[in-house]
């Protein structure tokens, strides 16, 4: 069974539409900036991948994650020809922090935020009349979890069309936690390069409209072939090779594909040494003997880690990569780690290739893993 992707939207630090973001990834310019929202003298890390939409002169605004969410849902719905009445369409949102930044601003600065505004469903109901909304706050794989549940809802006859979204704004508590638990402090996110030191936060949102195959009119961007979801609970932070292997192989099984069928892998690529080493080792084993193997890239090198929505943002970029026959390079990848030897990591400049099937990885703390398989619409 497959599910049609009928609408797409995204916003990140490098662009306000999927096309703008993809073009920026292909150009490969450094996009991190000195911290804008937080006082830099309180932290060891000095950079992040923030969206520059705050007022001039400093300070921060509440409800930014909610604002991006409603923007991408509106744009994806319009792209799919749905309009703005989503009263009969479930909306599933993946996130890590929800509106935690607004809570911080309310607690510290007395920001005017009503209790009900901490829940995304309030804004979705006001903007679109959305009656059925669910928020999944389960870390880096949250938006792909939402996608998996959306395909389940369609397969079970609970809906013909579902909007899937992810959103996160950088929070001071989250940034501070990373600042203290990472041994080395990165000045840039450099996945799979020997210089990698850890992750830096990014901001953004993405949304897609998923529909039962053939259920509606209009063009189809791509098709979801299968989504795996799992939680191995191996360790609070360290990824488990066995858990990741199970997630990838289960996605292949659900999609009815073999390793040799995969043309593109959108890596989780968080830039932390343990994650990069584990993901590389697992993929080397899975794609061993699969011919030349797939092209691979990691967009967090330019967007930062956009947390709960990162998997969906990678999926949208995978769809554009298949449409354009172009894979953006991994920014800053000059000397790959030994574990990545033999993988088809794209370095330096975009790779041009015929791409039909993409794998999207999202691996979170606690072994909360999700992998999606997407097929080009041909």
DSSP 193: B
Q: Is the residue at 217 inside a domain?
A: no
Q: Are strands 222-231 and 368-376 parallel, antiparallel or unpaired?
A: antiparallel
Residue ending a domain, among 163, 181, 212, is 212
Q: Is the residue at 31 inside a domain?
A: yes
Domain count, the chain: 2
Q: What digits encode the pLDDT tens for the residues 259-271?
A: 999 999 999 999 9
Q: Do 206 and 231 fall into the same domain?
A: no
CB 50 within 8 A of CB 37: yes
Half-sphere exposure of 316 (CA within 13 A, CB side): 32
Residue ending a domain, among 194, 212, 230, is 212
Q: Do 94 and 159 fall into the same domain?
A: yes
CATH number at residue 368: 3.40.47.10
The Cα–Cα gap between 109 and 190 comes to 34
SS3 of residue 327 by DSSP? strand
The Cα–Cα gap between 97 and 145 comes to 15
Query: What would you report as the CA-atom Rg of the chain, rounded to the nearest whole angstrom?
Result: 19
Q: Is the residue at 68 inside a domain?
A: yes
Q: Do 23 and 136 fall into the same domain?
A: yes
Q: Do 59 and 193 fall into the same domain?
A: yes
pTM, 2 dp: 0.97
Q: Do 314 and 363 fall into the same domain?
A: yes
Residue 183 above 90 pLDDT? no
pLDDT of amino acid 290: 79
CB 358 within 8 A of CB 262: yes
Residue 367 above 80 pLDDT? no
Q: What digits encode the pLDDT tens for the residues 32-89?
A: 999 988 888 889 999 999 999 988 776 789 999 999 999 999 999 999 999 999 999 9
CB 362 within 8 A of CB 371: yes
Q: Do 228 and 320 fall into the same domain?
A: yes
Q: What digits encode the pLDDT tens for the residues 261-303?
A: 999 999 999 999 999 999 999 999 999 987 789 999 999 999 9
* Percent of the chain clearing pLDDT 70 (strictly above): 99
Q: Do 67 and 159 fall into the same domain?
A: yes
Q: Do 259 and 358 fall into the same domain?
A: yes
Structural domain range at position 253: 222-376
Q: Do 48 and 164 fall into the same domain?
A: yes
In the chain the beta strands, taken as DSSP E runs, fall at 3-12, 33-34, 47-48, 91-94, 133-136, 161-168, 204-212, 222-231, 264-266, 295-297, 326-327, 344-345, 351-352, 357-364, 368-376
Query: Which region among 54-58, 159-163, 250-254 has the lowest average model confidence (pLDDT)?
Result: 54-58
The Cα–Cα gap between 39 and 24 comes to 28
The Cα–Cα gap between 117 and 193 comes to 41
In 158-232 the beta strands, taken as DSSP E runs, fall at 161-168, 204-212, 222-231
Q: Which residues fall within 8 angstroms of residue 101, CB to CB, at 6 or more apart?
A: 60, 62, 64, 65, 169, 170, 171, 172
Q: Is the residue at 58 inside a domain?
A: yes
DSSP 269: -
Q: For the chain, what is the total number of helices (H) and then of strands (E)?
A: 10, 15
Q: Do 356 and 242 fall into the same domain?
A: yes
Secondary structure element (H or E) that encloses residue 110, with its range? none
């Amino acid at each position: 069974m497959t599910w049609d992707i009928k609408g797409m939207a995204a916003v990140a630090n490098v662009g306000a539409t999927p096309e703008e973001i993809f073009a920026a990834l292909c150009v490969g310019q450094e996009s991190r900036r000195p911290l804008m929202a937080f006082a830099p003298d309180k932290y060891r890390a000095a950079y992040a991948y923030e969206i520059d939409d705050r007022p001039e002169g400093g300070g921060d605004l509440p409800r930014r994650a909610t604002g991006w969410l409603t923007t991408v849902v509106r744009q994806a719905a319009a792209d799919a020809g749905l309009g703005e009445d989503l009263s009969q369409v479930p909306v599933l949102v993946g996130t890590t922090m929800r509106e935690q930044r607004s809570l911080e601003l309310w607690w510290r600065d007395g920001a005017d935020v009503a209790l009900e505004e901490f829940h995304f469903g309030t804004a979705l109901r006001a903007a679109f009349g959305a009656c059925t909304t669910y928020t999944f706050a389960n870390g880096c794989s949250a938006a792909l979890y939402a996608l998996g549940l959306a395909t389940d809802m369609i397969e079970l006859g609970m809906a013909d069309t579902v909007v899937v979204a992810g959103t996160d704004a950088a929070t001071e508590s989250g940034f501070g936690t990373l600042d203290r638990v990472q041994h080395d402090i990165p000045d840039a996110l450099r996945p799979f390069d020997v210089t990698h030191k850890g992750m830096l936060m990014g901001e953004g949102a993405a949304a897609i409209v998923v529909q039962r195959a053939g259920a509606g009119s209009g063009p189809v961007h791509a098709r979801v072939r299968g989504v795996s979801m799992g939680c191995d609970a191996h360790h609070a932070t360290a990824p488990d090779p066995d858990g990741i292997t199970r997630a990838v192989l289960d996605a292949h099984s659900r999609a009815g594909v073999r390793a040799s069928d995969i043309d593109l892998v959108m890596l989780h690529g968080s830039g932390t040494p343990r994650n990069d080493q584990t993901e590389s080792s697992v993929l080397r084993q899975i794609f061993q003997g699969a011919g030349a193997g797939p092209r691979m890239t990691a967009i967090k090198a330019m967007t930062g880690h956009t947390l709960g929505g990162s998997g969906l943002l990678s999926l949208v970029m995978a769809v554009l990569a298949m449409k354009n026959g172009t894979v953006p390079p991994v920014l800053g990848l000059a000397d790959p780690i030994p574990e990545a030897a033999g993988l088809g990591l794209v370095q330096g400049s975009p790779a041009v290739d015929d791409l039909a099937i993409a794998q999207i990885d999202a691996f979170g703390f606690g072994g909360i893993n999700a992998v999606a398989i997407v097929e080009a619409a041909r």
